Structure 1
Amino acid sequence: MRFGILGPLDVRAPDGTPLDPGGPRPRALLTLLLLDAGRTVPLARLTDGLYGDEPPAGAANALQSQVSRLRKRLGLDIEAVPTGYRLAVSPEDVDLHRFEHLARAGRRLLGSGDHARAAALLREALGLWRGRALADLPDAAALLARLDEMRLAAGQDRIDAELALGGGPDLVPELRELLSGQPLSERLYGQLMRALHAGGRPAEALTVYEEARRALADALGTDPSAGLSALHLELLRGQEPARQRGVPAQLTRFIGRADELARIGALLADTRLVTLTGPGGAGKTRLAVEAARALPDVCFVELAPLADGAQVPYAILTALGVRDGLHTPGGDATERLLSALHGRAPLLVLDNCEHLVDAAAEVTGLLLGACPGVRVLATSREGLGITGEVLCPVPPLTAGPAARLFADRAAAVRPGHAGADDEHQRRLTDEICAALDGLPLAIELAAARLRTLTLDELAARLGDRFRLLSRGDRTKAPRHRTLRAVVEWSWELLDEEERELARRLTVFPSGATLDAVEAVCGIPYPEDLLASLTEKSFLEVADGRYGMLRTIHAFCAGQLADAGEEDRLRDAHAGYFLRLAERAEPMLRGGDQLPWLAGLSAERGNLDAALRHLTRADPHGGLRLLAALSWFWRLRGLNGERTARAIELLDAVGSEPPEGLGEEYALCVINTLAGDGADPAEPARLAHADRLVAELEGPLRLPHLIVQWSVTGGPEHSMTDRVRAQVGDHPWGVALLDLGLGFQEQFAGRPDAADAAFARALAGFRETGDRWGMANCLDPLAMFAHWRGERDLALDLLDEGLVHVGELAAPEETADLLHQRATVLLYRGDLAAAAAHYARAAELARTAGVPDKVATALRGLGDVARRSGDTSRAREHYEAALQAYAANWFSLGQSVRTLVGMGRAALAESRADEAADWFEQARVLATDTGELADVAEALAAVAAAPEECARLLGAAHGLRGTSIAGDPDVVGVADAARARLSPERYESAFEEGRSLRSSAVRQR
């Protein structure tokens, strides 16, 4: 028999015939017995279930009578035992127990990662419900609530499984309905966020988090759990575009090369450097892409667009998704690359190394020597010449794969091409492929001609052309001659207008938009010509940009009439991109900055080429372009890339600014300052820049110059009366002044004034819509809120800042804000969430190649471990942080805090002498850096007398301008001192320390 209690009681005979248990009492009795099918149900439970708290006299006899009637009516085996009754049926015959079994099995499969089976079992379990459970059992509210919770949990497990299987949009209505009945379920909020995000609605997903936060605060006075907060941050991080590049997507089928793929796979398993060699057009790039596609952690680096070897490390950094921060001047690119790859094991695919073979070999050798996990798959027309390199020549396609490639590409341009079905056409196809030496690029170019030629015409033309060129330069490789013949033959099939545009398009090193083509090439309405060149495989088009394959580009460039024509084109190209950059420059400081940032990023190759040309041909124009790009470089990309170009431009311009270009010249000098101390001429240029900036009259046309100078020259340059006049009254400039004033007030120990200045700056930047400015204000505002103990406000401010830096694709600044958020959570006592934030901050900083900030996150993990009582683990983190810090102005201050952490860990282990030694080291270092507030609070913990403790706490308050509310490291020390002193003596000593400030700490 089968029984159902997940709805109205349902009893079925073995053949499926429904059976009637009788009236309400028998139905209730059977339901009670089925709840514990196969087990004894106590008499008291049965009596209470049938009659409630006030059973009638003779209830036991009445119960026995009801059992007897059930036995007779349904033929059930109900056993009477001394303590109650047992229904002798298998739990598997009762829908409730089957539901519980399926739900548990589904949850186990979900945990093991078998999402498909988990979803199937959970759907089966939920399908057993036919309505309100236990419908025939009165007064079962508590039991019913438990069953409803089980049903909800199984439903949520099923949703988790479907989300893991790629579900999303279809789950949103169901989740919203569930939330309407469970408005405080954090799990449902999290699932709705994930479903919306999976459905391409990330903004709505973040809004759901705010709904959850408000609902929990209004109903319970609590914040979202660490898990929901972590999901919120995960979705925020999911918006960051700064990720390493995997292999590029391909638009055509890959044909042949099975043996080569197997060999490359075997070589990469045992060798750290494999170089695919062969002539241009042999298919090296496509083979490398296909070989790397199935491998984990692949980063594809395209070297073909680079102009010189110095750009190779920057290209790898860009491909890895590493960029300079908004505040960090670019340093040595190679060192940053080594830092970004430290501890990682990616496969770097370095494509098209031949024109930069020496530089590619140098960087590759350095990476392989310093990063033991890194492997490299290179493509080049010659080997890199590094010890341990294994060369893998890429041969021509054999006859069969070559013919299949030709037929596949021919069918794409001429539907119904019967090359594989007709004997004559098969023979012609084989002849064409043999004449082209099986080179894939040549085959594809030839197949593209079938748009306008028959196969016979194609074979005739191709044969004539190759016979003519076979008598060319015998010193050249035959395949090179053959490929050139194919390209030249394709060239001659163009009409004169197409050739003219193809020649002029070679001025664009990284593709061009339609507007750029029209403006630079001087051909009105070029749309039809561009379409024709695209159809004839001379151009590729993607996202509105037209570009040439490198082989085609090189050939067409060689067809330019003379050097004068090339110079005229380069002048027009540079002029267009100078105008574009100057039009974009003010837009980068407002609400439209994101599309303009994206637009300039797409044109980086063209902008770099324009700057190189102007540096040589028109240095004054070069100053204008470099100045217009300076803020773009600060917000996006690798700042270090600009230094060499700025130095070259400065040499071309001379030692004094040209008339009317004072700001541009000052920015050029500022851009020569890399900030890494490697250039002995840098101090002189620093002094030169200081003089130039001082001489500028306001209001500035390029107010971001002040930011660039304050970052490069130091905070002392960020705020003076002269700067006020230079910035003027533009809202962005006024907000910038308040931002600088906020930092000055903060450094002076006046937090209230600093907070007010940052708040004004935030309002100003919000008015302009500048995300950079808002993020820079939200960070310190959150810190001050944290100091005041307003930690919910601090988290809200940081969350807004995380949105802005995510939109700016700034992983380093994201790491900063996550670190700040972790600190707030740490003080709030949410140690697990704080640790997760610190770990994520370390991961982002490591990926960005910023070891100082990795160390700072390690210090935070040390603080978490110490406050959780694991002092041994805390010391490990602190020691790792101290080893990682570099000797610069940023890390010295963090080193002070780490030394303080070491002292507090020793103090927690009752090693007061060791703690005092750590604190003394921190004090000595802090005396030089000004980071004395933390040291003063730490020294208070080992003070010999309560008056000394109070004075040191007062000094810390004076140095910082306030105390950090609820600091557990300080509260206990202060309470102990207060307990040993009268209120008057404590306040007197505290005020004495506050007035002495740093001198009290130094003398201690």
Structure 2
Amino acid sequence: MCPQRTVTSNELTSFIGRTREIADVRKLLSVARLITLTGVGGVGKTRLARRVACEVRDEFADGAWFVDLARASEPALLATIIADTLGVPDQSAGSTEAALIEYLANRKLLLILDNCEHLLQACAALVHEILQEAETITILATSRESLGVLGEYSWPVPPLSMPDLANVAPSRGGYVYGHEALDLFEERARAVRPGFTLDSESRGVAAQLCQRLDGLPLAIELAAVRLRALSIEQIVTRLEDRYRLLCTGNRGGPARHQTLRAAVDWSFDLCSEREKTMWARLSVFAGAFDLVDAEEVCAGVGIAREEVFELLSDLIDKSIVLREGTDEAPRYRLLETIKAYGRQKLAVAGGDVVLRRKHRDHYLRLAERSESGWFGSEQALWCLRLRNAQANFWAALDFCLTTAGEALTGLRMAGALIFYWNACGHLKDGRYWLERTLNAAPAPSPEKVKALWVNGYIAMTQGDNESAMRSFDDCVELAGQLEDPVARAFCLQFRGSAEQFKGNLTEAETLLADAVDFHRGRGALNSLTVLATAQLAFVSCLIGKADRAVALCEECRAVSAIHGEQWALSWAHWVLGLARWTLGDYEPAALALNQSLVAKRALDDNLGMSACVELLAWVAFEEGDAKRACRLFGAAVALWASVGHPLFGSAELLAIHDRYEERVRGTLGSRAYERFHVQGQQMTLDEVMSFACAQTAPPDAEPRLTRRENQVAGLIAEGLSNKQIAARLVISQRTAEGHVENVLAKLGFQSRAQVAAWFAGRD
């Protein structure tokens, strides 16, 4: 037998991984004659193919044969290299290809063709002919893109599995099952530093290293070699220039695997010039992006907008770009290793600053569209869009702060993201970026006056009233200089709430009443002006005007119903719950708080969810259920920790909270109180939602869906996808997605199946 026969069991490394992948590929081999393992360079396609071959070689009478096609520099050499590996006699005057096929026709074997990507068309043609003429041959190929042969099964090889950085836990004998990247790193590290083991301190750093290397086996092995001279922490800090750091190590492997750069160079060289340009331009994205993002940012000199999709598809086929998300809403991303390579190419070409500015401009437009489009029925959809774009917003803001002359635009973007900061649960992020951009652009400007009141609003919401007041003072002064009465009105509106939380209720009522009158006088109608009415209702509760608060909340509800507004309405429901609690109407209070909680969950409004759970604990105790109240108090503690000071720092509300906790502890006793409180703290968010809403929705409560949302619910019940719903109603797919999100939010459901069951159960 030729020495190139496939790997034997004693040739395998001691690293044990890819168990699931091996099983999946083996299963495919029982039903398919051609399987192509695809994936980015260094992901482990060759190693997986060898391991599978070792597992199944005894199932083939003539064995399993491994052919390395990387050494085939010309298509004409392809059949010759395969024939030489198999030991096909060179005695015929005919073509090598004919002799190879004649030889294979009488045998049952597994043929492993490794590294087909640089001879893709030639490989496809030869493989097609082999499968046609030699019916007992099975082929397992590895390539950075599929061969495109009829009957081919393309199987993408994923990176190694990695632990969640927030939950790296040891188990007996090493790490919990599934942490293959860490297992590989530890084994390769032990090869260069005998006796090396990961302990409780180094495990988290090693997990971070594996994450930043995308779980790529080649990159992890090259990093482990560096432990001869560096600590794990030092390797992590030097990963910004990963191609310089991981430049030696695997001298025994093929040239393309001896350094990380060589592996990616191999992929880059296989791309067309326009694909190389597209790769470099896509590297400007941080995190995932969609097709529209790619078209807006990457189209330009050399690439027309209508060509972006085809080039993106080509890069997906070549395993450069990864596709994720659903069929209806696909998104794309580059592994950090691939992205870093593209950025270097972009910088060498001299287009990095221009493209980063173009990227920033695109996400600035998205931020401003989210602000202008927030007031309406698509708030849940906007929240999703903004959440998906978060990493790109951060990159755009960072560009503004690190590029001369761009700070003012960064301030503009940070102010435009007001609803993402406040309505979608990102208060800490908002404070961080607003304060950085305010410091970077100190000159008086319309952008600054807006950013000041937005920053004050966030600080006030977090309970940091001292910082909030400084922002409001600066805003009022600057608004006067710029003669901007609208900015001044919004500033005083949120200052009114800050005064309320400081205990200055009379001043708070005056400021909020003036703000409401100003907004009504100019005919302004948006989420913030509707919110002002709810804020006035809030302070009304605290000064003993609960009936007035109820009336103001009903006003908010009426306006919101017309426009499909959910966020400001959710606060109106919360204040209504507070007002009903004040009046001793506990069942209506619980219902209002439940309605608020469902809407806030749809928006990921952590602040609002915290406030709802807190008041539901008060109601539970008043209804005689101290255990339930105790669990809700525990859940509220965990929720408040993610947003800032509990209950906005309001002395009045905190005093009520303390009295209730004391009464709950007195009812249950200290030991039971601690037990139930801890149970509440340990609940997941979904568990909190289920528990908090369990006793607050009367069976006859009918959710308020608009006419269009009722139509959409019916189509969901028919089993239609978002794309099909859009076609049926003659609306855009994005609009259909928004209606579906709103239906789920209003009904408090997590799945389309729940909507279908609810719709089917209606009269």
- Percent pairwise identity: 24
Structure 2 counterpart of 1:404, from 51, 60, 65: 51
Cα deviation for residue 677 of structure 1 reads 10
Shift in Å, 1:752:
2.4
Find out whether 1:729 has 2:529 as its counterpart.
Answer: no
Report the 3-state secondary structure (helix = DSSP H, G, I; strand = E; otherwise coil) of the residue aligned with 1:538. Answer: coil
Q: 2:586 matched to 1:804? A: no
Q: Which of 45, 68, 82 in structure 2 is aligned with 1:428?
A: 68
**Are residues 701 and 530 of structure 1, via their aligned partners in 2, closer, same or farther at CA, if it must alter by over 3 Å?**
farther
Residue of structure 1 in register with 2:558 after alignment: 763
Find the counterpart in structure 1 of residue 333 from structure 2. Answer: 547
5 Å-filtered alignment, 1:928-947, equals none
Contact 2:512–2:535 (CA under 8 A) maintained in structure 1: yes
Alignment partners' CA distance in 1, 2:422 and 2:393:
15
Q: State the Cα distance separating 1:537 from its structure 2 match.
A: 0.6
Find the counterpart in structure 1 of residue 705 from structure 2.
none
Q: Distance in 2 between matches of 1:669 and 1:474?
A: 41
Check 1:711–1:557 CA distance in 2 against 1; reply closer, same or farther (3 A cut): farther
Q: Distance in 1 between matches of 2:332 and 2:380?
A: 23
Distance 1:623 1:689 in 2: 14
What is residue 47 of structure 1 aligned with on the other side? Answer: none
Give yes or no for the alignment of 1:738 onto 2:550. no
Cα distance per residue 1:289-328 (max 9 Å; x no partner): 99xxxxxxxxxxxxxxxxxxxxxxxxxxxxxxxxxxxxxx
Asked if 1:592 is matched to 2:239, the reply is: no
Q: Deviations over 1:190-210 (max 9, x none)?
A: xxxxxxxxxxxxxxxxxxxxx
CA–CA distance in structure 1, aligned partners of residues 513 and 665 of structure 2: 43
1:445 is displaced (CA, Å) by 10
Mapping of residues 432-831 of structure 1, within 5 Å: 446=115, 452=121, 454=123, 476-479=247-250, 481-522=258-299, 523=303, 524-525=305-306, 526-543=308-325, 544-560=330-346, 562=348, 564-615=350-401, 616=403, 617-657=405-445, 660-661=446-447, 663-667=449-453, 670=456, 685=471, 687-692=473-478, 700=486, 719=512, 721=514, 724-725=517-518, 728-732=522-526, 733-831=528-626
Distance change in 2, residues 1:831/1:614 (3 Å) = closer
C-alpha distance 532-444 of structure 1, shift in aligned 2 (>3 A): farther
In structure 2, distance between residues paired with 1:591 and 1:784: 26
Which amino acid in 2 is paired with 1:426?
F
Work out the CA distance in 2 between the residues paired with 1:852 and 1:663. Answer: 27
Q: Distance in 1 between matches of 2:459 and 2:641?
A: 24
Q: Partner of 2:351: helix, strand, or coil?
A: helix
- Give 3-state SS (helix, strand or coil) of 1:731's partner: coil
Q: Is the 8 A contact 2:462 2:644 kept in 1?
A: no
Q: TM-score, normalised by structure 2?
A: 0.51
Deviation, 1:703, is 8.4
- Which secondary structure does the structure 2 equivalent of 1:512 belong to? coil
Does the residue aligned with 2:332 lie in a helix, a strand or coil?
strand
C-alpha separation in 1, matches of 2:366 and 2:499: 29
Following superposition, the deviation at residue 406 of structure 1 comes to: 9.3
Q: Is this contact kept in 2: 1:619–1:649, CA < 8 A?
A: yes
Query: Partners of 1:796 and 1:566 in 2: how far apart?
Result: 54
| Residue identity opposite 2:379 in structure 1 | Q
Is the CA contact (8 Å cut-off) linking 1:590 and 1:768 kept in structure 2? yes
- The amino acid across from 2:430 in the alignment is R
SS across alignment from 1:591:
coil
Indicate if the aligned counterparts of 1:862 and 1:875 stay in contact, CA closer than 8 A. no
Letter matched to residue 415 of structure 2: A
CA deviations 1:708-750 (Å, max 9, x no partner) are 6556676556515366436732333552332232233233332
Question: Aligned equivalents of 1:760 and 1:752: distance in 2?
Answer: 13
Unaligned stretches of 5+ in structure 1?
1-255, 263-285, 291-394, 412-416, 433-442, 467-471, 881-1004
Conserved? CA contact 1:731–1:765, under 8 Å:
no
Question: Is the contact between residue 498 and residue 533 of structure 1 (CA under 8 Å) also seen in structure 2?
Answer: yes
- 1:548: Cα distance to partner? 1.0
Give me the whole-angstrom Cα distance separating, in 2, the residues matched to 1:663 and 1:444. Answer: 65
Q: Mapping of 1:817-896 within 5 angstroms?
A: 817-831=612-626, 833-842=628-637, 844-845=639-640, 860=660, 862-864=662-664, 866=666, 868=667, 870=668
Counterpart CA distance in 2 for 1:446 and 1:803 is 52
Counterpart of 1:725, as a letter, is: F
Q: Please give the alpha-carbon distance, in whole angstroms, between the structure 1 residues aligned to 2:468 and 2:532.
A: 27
Q: Distance between the aligned counterparts of 2:287 and 2:499, measured in 1? A: 34
Compare CA radii of gyration and give the structure with the larger one.
Answer: 1
- The answer to whether the 8 A contact 2:438-2:448 is kept is no
Change (3 A) 1:449 1:597: farther
* 8 Å contact kept, 2:375–2:563: yes
- 1:439-483: per-residue Cα shift (whole Å, max 9, x none)? xxxx9994666754539999999xxxx9xxxxx999932348433
Distance in structure 2 (CA, Å) of the matches to 1:541 and 1:879: 43
Q: Deviations over 1:172-215 (max 9, x none)?
A: xxxxxxxxxxxxxxxxxxxxxxxxxxxxxxxxxxxxxxxxxxxx
Supply the AA of the counterpart residue of 2:663: D
Alpha-carbon offset, residue 792 of structure 1: 2.6
Q: Cα–Cα, structure 1 residues 516 and 774, in superposed 2: closer, same or farther, change >3 Å?
A: same
Map 1:145-544; keep pairs closer than 5 Å.
401=48, 403-404=50-51, 425-428=65-68, 446=115, 452=121, 454=123, 476-479=247-250, 481-522=258-299, 523=303, 524-525=305-306, 526-543=308-325, 544=330
Residue 836 and residue 740 in structure 1: after superposition, are their counterparts in 2 closer, same or farther (change >3 A)? closer
SS at match of 1:545: strand
**Cα offset for 1:585?**
0.9
Specify the code of the residue in structure 2 equivalent to 1:775: S
Offset of residue 637 of structure 1? 4.0
Q: For 1:558 and 1:736, locate their aligned partners in 2 and report how far apart those are by CA, in whole Å.
A: 47
TM-score, with structure 1 as normaliser: 0.40
Distance 1:878 1:583 in 2: 45
| Count of residues paired in the alignment | 467
- CA gap 1:399/1:731 in 2 versus in 1, 3 angstroms: closer
Work out the CA distance in 1 between the residues paired with 2:626 and 2:558.
Answer: 33
Shift of 1:398: 12
The aligned residue for residue 946 of structure 1 is none
Per the TM alignment, residue 762 of structure 1 is displaced from its structure 2 partner at its CA by 2.9
Alpha-carbon offset, residue 776 of structure 1: 1.3
**Distance between the aligned counterparts of 2:113 and 2:561, measured in 1?**
53
SS at match of 1:489: helix
2:208 counterpart residue number: none
Q: Secondary structure at the match of 1:558?
A: helix
The 8 Å contact of residues 819 and 837 in structure 1, kept in 2 or not, is answered as yes
Distance 1:824 1:497, change over 3 A: same
Question: How far, CA to CA, are the matches of 1:858 and 1:538 in structure 2?
Answer: 56
3-state SS in 2 of match to 1:498: helix
Q: Distance in 2 between matches of 1:421 and 1:858?
A: 78
> How big is the shift at 1:593?
0.5
CA contact (8 A) 1:862 1:878 kept: no
Instruction: For 1:806 and 1:686, locate their aligned partners in 2 and report how far apart those are by CA, in whole Å.
Output: 30
* Residue 557 (structure 1) shift: 1.6
Structure 2 residue matching 1:598: 3-state secondary structure: helix
Contact 2:115–2:142 (CA<8 Å) still a contact in 1? Answer: no
* Alpha-carbon distance change, 762 to 786 in structure 1, aligned in 2, over 3 angstroms: same
Query: Residue 374 of structure 2 aligns to a residue in which SS?
Result: helix
How far apart, CA to CA, are the structure 1 residues paired with 2:114 and 2:604? 39
